[in-house]
């Protein structure tokens, strides 16, 4: 649906993108909604770069910027958005602009992104899907424009790369990613403190929620499958919801021997959101399609209504079927 | 006590170390006991390098090498250790050789290490305390000797650097660390798979132990202090002990707002090992000294006898005293 601008979207090279930025003077930089380290890191590092070039720019996000990014996400300029050049960073489709879509969805002059799935909604697009993070691209861009990277920009760039790669842990990391990180270490900031804040800090309430969730752990199919539940009551008691719960699915995929990690999160009285993480030979997408959902090979989901017991039975049935189809079923000797 | 060889220890440069290795042909490479990714990565990458040079070498460890390192820790050569040149890697004091100390403690010809606390027990020492891991040094050494790094060596080197830095998370990481990592990405192996194995895999039993430990969580002093207990019963029930429990102290230091994370581990009927992690202004070493222990500013410990309740009271008293001395005590307005 969002590809209707496809024919109008011009793919730029890095050099053309640099030229584009140099040519204009007033910018609005849009980040995606539910902002993460990469969209914010990209937005703010670009902002600091444009400031070094003597330009005027505002960073705008549909949602409140989480406090924890406050060390680089400082105040930006006041810009008349009707007269500004509009840039979107790390925004793969215009719906990801959230409440900003209405005002800006069809007015993005340039999108800078690393998602191969980018829907080409912008007038111009610089896409490098080999980049681990959009911040890796912004680094290239600032180098290409020969713009000074100040310490704020360096912190923002480092944050985006670290958060989008699980601190250099995931398969999107390349030699280039580490080369950029090595460059950023030359600036005056404390990467270890950033990493502590991003990766090793959880609230007491979240720790309490994790304890409750671990109490619900069920193992199935010779321990090849773990099932965790996050009830509405747990969310109410701890005040944790939304992105707080991302870590729960991570637990489900980190248990030794588990090839299907199921997390069932209650979103309403009889509505549950299933998150499934799988390892080969299982296919999360196939399993979730069976119950009306979808996704990727290794991570998929579905929203299902019914009682918790019904939903457990449904997803477990589908996992079992996929295990059998892939000869990963229950071993008779165990 | 272990510094009695200090005057006999010759500090080598990287170039001299390379020359030393080139000069000899038969090697025994010692790793430290309770082996981790860095000592094993250093030992095996050096082994693979020496093999490329046509030499004979054995890697020896006092303890069984954990299965999870099996992707690079393959069989090494049979070497007559009485006639071999003895190298220790990542071994800061000879007591860390474990049961190998008796045979080799006074016979180490060359130690290659990154611990600033190295006791100079070897005849020759190449120490670079700015290296994040001994593997970072071995990489330099192989480059200096112009030796081919094969894929096994690259995997071993990457593993050592990743594990000693918490996957590039900690304050020991430098620009150099990332530059070495960037170099290693050119070889044919899957860093993301290694990281998954090293950082995102825990046994079902350990997950169960963590659940039990979280059930014991107590917060004190306006939630600035968390106390976790690992009883003997929990360890028996789950079969988890020793290095399995390292992650527990990590939990205690990752709760938002906590500046004193206490883990009390039962080691015998009335004996408990306290691990303390602190953030400024608290001083873990001062706190543990008060109860007969010691350590570093941010991480210290003590072994104490008594009932669990007595021991809790003792460590909490000492924490409270340090909080008050550092004006980090209970805020009256909270």
Answer whether A167 sits within 8 Å of B167, measured CB to CB: yes
User: Which residues on B lie below 8 Å from A203 (Cβ)?
Assistant: 255-256
Q: How far apart are CA A21 and CA A124, in angstroms?
A: 12
Angle (nearest 5°) at CA A243 between A238 and A246? 95
Q: Is the CB of residue A259 less than 8 Å from the CB of residue A329?
A: no
A chain contacts of residue B200, beta-carbon cutoff 8 Å: 169, 250, 253-254
Euclidean distance between CA atoms A221 and A56, whole angstroms: 59
Whole-angstrom distance, CA of residue B300 vs CA of residue B230: 17
List the single residue in A169, A207, A257 with the smallest CB-CB distance to B167. Answer: A169
Give the pLDDT band (50/70/90) at residue A304.
very high
Residue of A nearest to B251 (CA): A200
Specify the residue for token string 């790669």. A165
The model carries a pTM of: 0.88
The pair of structure tokens assigned to A143 is 């180098």
Could you report the per-residue pLDDT of A260-285, keeping only the tens digit for each?
999 999 999 999 999 999 998 999 99
A7 pLDDT more than 70 = no
Q: Which of A139, A162, A200, A258 has the highest number of chain B CBs within 10 A, making it the mutation to test binding with B?
A: A200
Rounded to whole angstroms, the maximal C-alpha distance in chain A is 71
SS3 B59: strand
Interface probe for A, chosen from B161, B169, B172 (most Cβ of A below 10 Å), is: B169
Closest Cα of chain B to A197: distance in Å? 9
What does the pLDDT look like over B84-109, one tens digit per residue?
Answer: 999 999 999 999 999 999 999 999 99
Nearest CA in chain A to B165: A192
Mutate to test the interface with A, among B158, B182, B222, B226 (most CBs of A within 10 A): B182
Question: Mean pLDDT of all residues in chain B?
Answer: 93
Asked whether the beta carbons of B127 and B113 are under 8 A apart, the reply is yes
Inter-chain CB proximity B173 and A185 less than 8 Å: yes
Residues from chain A that touch B185, judged by Cβ atoms under 8 A, are 173-175, 178
CA distance A36 to A25: 27
Name the region of B158 (left: φ>0; alpha: ψ -120 to 50; beta: rest): alpha
Q: Dig out the tokens for B333 from the structure.
A: 């307005």
Distance CA A246, CA A250 (A): 7
B117 to chain A, minimum CA–CA distance in Å? Answer: 22
Q: Which residue has the higher pLDDT, A245 or B1?
A: A245
What sign for the dihedral angle of Cα A155, A160, A163, A168? negative
The pLDDT tens digits for B212-262 are: 999 999 999 999 999 999 999 999 999 998 777 878 888 898 899 999 999
Crossing angle of helices B204-215 and A204-215, in 10° steps, is: 120
The arithmetic mean of pLDDT across residues B60-72, rounded, is: 95
Q: Is the bond leading into A198 cis (omega within 30 degrees of zero)?
A: no
pLDDT of residue B31: 98
- The alpha carbon of residue B302 is apart from the nearest alpha carbon of chain A, in Å, by 24
Residue among B204, B211, B256 whose CB faces A203 most closely: B256
- E strands of chain B, at which residues? 10-11, 26-30, 56-60, 85-89, 110-113, 124-127, 218-220, 225-230, 260-268, 271-278, 294-295, 299-305
Q: What percentage of chain B reaches a pLDDT higher than 70? A: 96
* Nearest-angstrom CA–CA distance, B237 and A245: 29
Cα–Cα dist B7/B19, whole Å = 22
Tell me: cis bond preceding B274? Omega within 30 of 0 counts: no
pLDDT above 50 for B2 = no
Q: Quickly list H helices, A218-295.
A: 232-238, 246-252, 284-289
Q: Strand B110-113 to strand B85-89: parallel, antiparallel, or no bridges (unpaired)?
A: parallel
For residue B120, the SS3 value is: coil
- Among A250-259, A313-322, B309-318, the least confident range: A250-259
Q: Which residues contact A150 (CB under 8 A, 6 or more apart)?
A: A48, A52, A187
pLDDT tens per residue across span B271-326: 999 999 999 899 999 999 999 988 788 888 999 999 999 999 999 999 999 999 99
Secondary structure of chain A: what % helix, strand, coil (to 5)?
45, 20, 40
Q: Domains of chain A, with CATH numbers? A: 10-198 (3.90.1640.10), 204-325 (3.10.310.30)
> What is the ipTM, given to two decimal places?
0.88
Question: Do B183 and A175 contact (CB within 8 A), yes or no?
Answer: yes
B203 and A167: CB-CB below 8 Å? Answer: no
Starting at the edge strand that comes first in sequence, how are the strands of the sheet with A56-60 ordered? A10-11, A124-127, A110-113, A85-89, A26-30, A56-60
pLDDT band at residue A205 under the 50/70/90 scheme: very high
């Amino acid at each position: 649906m969002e590809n209707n601008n496809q024919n109008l979207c011009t793919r730029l090279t890095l050099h053309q993108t640099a030229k584009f930025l140099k040519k204009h003077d007033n910018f609005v930089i849009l980040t995606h909604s539910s902002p993460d380290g990469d969209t914010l890191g990209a937005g703010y590092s670009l902002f600091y770069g444009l400031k070094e070039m003597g330009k005027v720019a505002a960073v705008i996000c549909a949602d409140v910027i989480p406090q924890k990014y406050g060390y680089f996400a400082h105040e930006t300029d006041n810009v008349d958005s009707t007269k500004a050049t509009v840039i979107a960073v790390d925004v793969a489709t215009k719906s990801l602009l959230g409440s900003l879509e209405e005002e800006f969805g069809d007015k993005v002059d340039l999108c800078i992104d690393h998602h191969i799935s980018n829907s080409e909604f912008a007038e111009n697009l610089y896409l490098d899907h080999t980049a681990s993070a959009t911040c890796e691209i912004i680094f290239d861009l600032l180098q290409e424009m020969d713009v000074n990277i100040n310490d704020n920009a360096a912190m923002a760039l480092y944050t985006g790369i670290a958060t989008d790669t699980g601190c250099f842990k995931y398969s999107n990391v390349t030699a280039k990613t580490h080369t950029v990180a090595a460059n950023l270490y030359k600036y005056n900031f404390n990467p270890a403190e950033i990493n502590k804040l991003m990766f090793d800090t959880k609230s007491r309430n979240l720790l309490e929620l994790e304890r409750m969730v671990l109490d619900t752990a069920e193992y199935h199919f010779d321990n090849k499958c773990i099932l965790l539940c996050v009830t509405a009551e747990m969310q109410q008691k701890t005040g944790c919801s939304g992105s707080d719960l991302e870590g729960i699915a991570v637990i489900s995929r980190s248990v030794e021997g588990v090839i299907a990690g199921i997390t069932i999160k209650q979103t309403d009285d009889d509505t549950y959101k299933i998150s499934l993480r799988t390892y080969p030979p299982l296919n999360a997408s196939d399993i979730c399609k069976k119950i009306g959902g979808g996704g990727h090979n290794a991570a998929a989901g579905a929203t299902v209504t019914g009682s918790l017991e019904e939903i457990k039975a449904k997803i477990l049935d589908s996992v079992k079927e996929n295990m059998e189809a892939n000869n990963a079923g229950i071993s008779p000797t165990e």
